[in-house]
Structure 1
Amino acid sequence: MLTTIFNTLMPVFSVILLGWAAGRRGIIPLAHCRSLTSFIMTFSLPALLFKFTAQVEPQVLMNREILVSFTVGLMVIYIITFLFYRFILKHNKKIGGLASLTSSFPNFAFIGLPILMGLYGEESLIPVIISTLVGSLLLVPLTLIFLEDEDKGEGSKLMATGKKVVETFLNPVLLAPLVGIAVSFSGVRMPQGIYSSMALIGDPAPGLSLFAMGVTMSGYRIVISREVVLMVFIKSILSPLVMFFITMAMGIQGILAREIVILGALPTATIAPMFSMKYGLYNMESSNATVVGTIFSVATLGGLITLYS
């Protein structure tokens, strides 16, 4: 049992720790890490996602159980958090949207991918890709709507929101698997050399992304507040419980049910603090919730792996 946990989590968190040490010692300055992150998000990870989706059978990608599970689960967590922040904590809708994104969007690509592949093999890419698409298509545009300037007129506000949603779809991490899905459904057989090229640049993405996350975390000063604890609790405890009950209600069993719950238990995706930093709102809370949640996930993910073993 301990061997399974060690062999699954050790590679993931040791690379994060290595990145953190490199950042703390100044071996990789934060300014350079931004360039590395840009490379991963613009080239490496999109190449990996395209390579896999383009070669997968269409019926595999249109898995109703995964689509429904994450559509319902992510939206339930997002809405619960948003209502709590708006009507209990009395925050405005911008902070409510940022807190909801921080509490509901798991780190599917950077942490979920290597963990599930370590546990269940390459087929685990399917729930990772589908869940990433669902989260990006639902939670990101919804958060952008809340973040729009309330002082703008309805017309300009609608146009600005629409522009940002279009920009979201053009993000390489979202666009690459969509193009791959289109290739898969078209039945076009692409030359093997294209997939080999994608593999050269895409296969290092999981390791590079974990290292970059560690470097980024080294630049944060951890401050644990009531709202940081709240977001970590929602993301690490409530979210996997919601996904568990959804799999029970839908009758999903076996490895797929385990993958869905584990993905729900992942810490927050880095897109949440990136949004906070860009809009100059709730940055300290969102960043600390991401860092603390990532550290705390060693216990929650270890517990789930033990339970499912």
Structure 2
Amino acid sequence: MPTLLLSSLFPLVFVMVLGWLSGKLGYMKRDDATVLATVVIRFALPLHLFIGALHTDPSKIQNLSFMAVLVIGLMGSYLLTLCISRFLFRHDIKTSAIQSLVCAFPDMAYFGAPVLAVLIGPEGFLGVLVGNLITSVLMIPLTIVLIRMGDENSELAGQGSLGKMILTNLFKAVRNPIVWIPVLGVIMSLAGIKIPELLSSSVEMMGKTAGGISLFALGLLFFGERPTLNIHTFTNIGMKNLIQPAIMAAAGIAFGLSHTLLQQVVIIGATPSAIAAGMFAVRSDTYVESASSSILIGTALGIVTEGIVIFMMS
């Protein structure tokens, strides 16, 4: 068990330390993290999600009970955090959207996948793929819409009807590469459409850089700063590492999932916040300190929470 968790966590810490050292040694400026975040959000992450969706067996995508549990767990914790952020912490809608993303977007690909692969085997990657599809189709577009609605520089801010603003920003969100590219992968998978191996390997090469660049940028972002422990950090970590897996477990039992599938959804729920959530904070220049602190500390504590969940599920 300790070896499994160490092998999952060490690569994350290693790359983040490299990013921190690049700032410490003067190789890069802290502001360069914004450029790296743009590369991840606009190119690497959309292509990573696209190739994952394209290579997913269509019959597995159509497992409605499994997908429903993941939707409830992921989007339920997102909407719960959105309400807490808006009505308890009194944040604006843009900040609330970023906080919700931090609390509900698990690091499935770079933290959850290695654990599931060892614990369950190749089948364990199904939850990662379906979970990424849900975040691509529902969570990320909703976050983009809320960010645009809360942007004071938005063309529709302060004017026009709420419905018109939502529809306009939803249309803009759909045009975002991180939304339409993964959705295209889902459509192609369901239609049985394949792409040439030469193109597939090229797309996959770029997609694989998403995790490394995200971690490096986060490490660079931490240079000159110390993680902040406050009510926001504790709330975010508690929501992500404890509440979300509890929602997943309750939904999985209610839908009668098999033990293997129940293991997948609960372990995914206990996975720490995705580095990509921090990239959204950097990209929108909102909630950066709390988001980065929550991700860093939550990832470290994820060793404990993930270990407890694995022990209980086994």
Calculate the TM-score normalised by the size of structure 2: 0.80
Match of 1:126 in 2: 126
| Preserved CA contact (<8 Å) 2:45 2:178 | yes
Residue 48 (structure 1) aligned with residue 48 (structure 2) = yes
Counterpart residue identity of residue 111, structure 1: F
Gap regions ≥5 residues in structure 1: none
Report the count of equivalent residues.
308
Asked if 1:293 corresponds to 2:298, the answer is: yes
Partner of 1:173: 178
Secondary structure of the 2:272 match is coil
For 1:47 and 1:14, locate their aligned partners in 2 and report how far apart those are by CA, in whole Å: 24
What's the CA shift string for 1:13-40, capped at 9, x where partnerless?
3333343333443344334444444334
Q: Give yes or no for contact 2:53–2:186 (8 Å, CA) kept in 1.
A: yes
Give per-residue Cα distances to partners, 1:170-195, cap 9 Å, x unaligned: 33333332222222222334322222
Query: Are the aligned partners of 2:273 and 2:299 in contact in 1 as well (CA < 8 Å)?
Result: yes
Once the 2 structures are TM-superposed, how far is the Cα of residue 68 of structure 1 from its aligned partner? 0.6
1:107-122 maps to which residues of 2 (within 5 A)?
107-117=107-117, 119-120=119-120
Q: Could you say which residue in structure 1 is the equivalent of 2:271?
A: 266
2:309 equivalent among 292, 304, 309: 304
Which residue pairs with 1:70 in the alignment?
70
Offset at residue 97 of structure 1 (A): 4.1
CA contact (8 A) 1:273 1:290 kept: yes
**Normalising by the residue count of structure 1, what TM-score does the alignment of the two structures yield?**
0.81
What do you get for the CA RMSD once the two structures are aligned? 3.2
- The DSSP-based 3-state class of the residue aligned with 2:158 is coil
2:158 counterpart residue number: 152
Q: Which string of whole-angstrom CA distances, capped at 9 and with x for unpartnered residues, describes residues 238-262 of structure 1? A: 1111112221222223332222112
Q: Which runs of 5+ in 2 are unaligned?
A: none
- Quote the residue 1:22 is aligned against: 22
The correspondence of residues 27-42 of structure 1 with structure 2, limited to 5 A, is 27-42=27-42
Within the candidate set 245, 248, 252, 1:243 is matched to 248
Q: Sequence identity of aligned pairs in percent?
A: 29
**Letter of the aligned partner of 2:243 in structure 1?**
L
Deviation track 1:27-63 (CA, whole Å, cap 9, x = no partner) reads: 4433444444433443333333333322333112222
Quick one: distance in 1 between partners of 2:284 and 2:233? 19
* Alpha-carbon distance, 1:71 to partner: 1.5
**Which secondary structure state, in structure 2, belongs to the residue aligned with residue 30 of structure 1?**
coil
Preserved contact between residue 45 and residue 210 of structure 2 (Cα < 8 Å)? yes
User: Alpha carbons of 1:88 and 1:21: their partners in 2 closer, same or farther (altered >3 Å)?
Assistant: same
Structure 1 residues 210 and 124, CA gap change in structure 2 (3 angstroms): farther
Flag the 1:49–1:119 CA change in 2: closer, same or farther, 3 A.
farther
Provide the C-alpha distance between the structure 2 equivalents of 1:25 and 1:283, rounded to a whole number of angstroms. 23
